[in-house]
Structure 1
């Protein structure tokens, strides 16, 4: 992959022939960052390979070196956003010291991500091929998340593995709905977080009580 570009490098401030070459991964992220900025500030329809290159301080040809099409560029941007959230959620889960704190910290990580990046994600999902590209990645990640929370629910409430997984999968929809609410309506982040955590814990306790009493 060639990273040669005769134009001034806006990222480094140096001139052709004297500029420091960026690591390809850094250059790739810079291009994606500029694409994200354009989507947020001007909308999805304003994204062009030439415009992204100009914003990133590189030629259109170099943008095509990294992303062979605009669709692939937008797809990669959406996948990056999803993986960024996954990394934040894992970090939040690693810091949890009990089950309630696990639910609270991971819920907050999701809502924070929605509050800061939700508008970008929603706009990118408006590109059908980009949305399709993230679907398989999201599916794998969701199953891993269901398994993780399923084991935590199983330990905390004594449910069977199958029931714990089902409950975890359903309750993840509640967190997603809270994120959608923030995007559409807005609201106080702390209040929404508290509502979600209270509803999740109440649902789990009720299911655990019914299970211990021999209910379905």
Structure 2
């Protein structure tokens, strides 16, 4: 498959694919328009739940309280349909699409991002992911792209979703953890962390993220 040399957003032609990518980055860097959107079918709720559950299963393997499992994490699903990714994230503020690269991206950052992720994935158990310290905010980044494999004059298109985030092993003091648990017991949707006045805070700040619900749909099919 040859690379495109025209812009699907403003219909300009370019001498090379490289020039098209530069143009798109400079002019359409935050594009949300999907020119072929009308060709995509809306996924069923069962499909969306299936792929959310698949993501959760992989995520559980990455999230750990082990001090040997810290740092940057990368999650890859090789068969994640384009329409499912779009309908999950298309209404988010950070959602964007690159027609030249056929690539989607959506980022979630800080407290607001985690609150939104909890709404999207409807979780009820918790694990740690580093999102803020006193100097920086950290992102959870979702991307979708196509990889084309060619053999014997045939092409196989893989639709891949990637998720990148950071974990850290630091924890709150025991009193602070106990207080946080009380808050969550009062309201499962509340994720604010209120430090104990007698507790010294560490330099990094954590938010609870991505709890794992029972995979009822999957279990029922077994």
TM over 0.5, shorter chain: no
Q: Which has the higher strand share?
A: 2
Bigger RCO of structures 1 and 2 (CA < 8 A, at least 6 apart):
2
Q: Which TM-score tier does this pair reach, normalised by the shorter chain?
A: under 0.3
Structure holding more helix per residue: 1
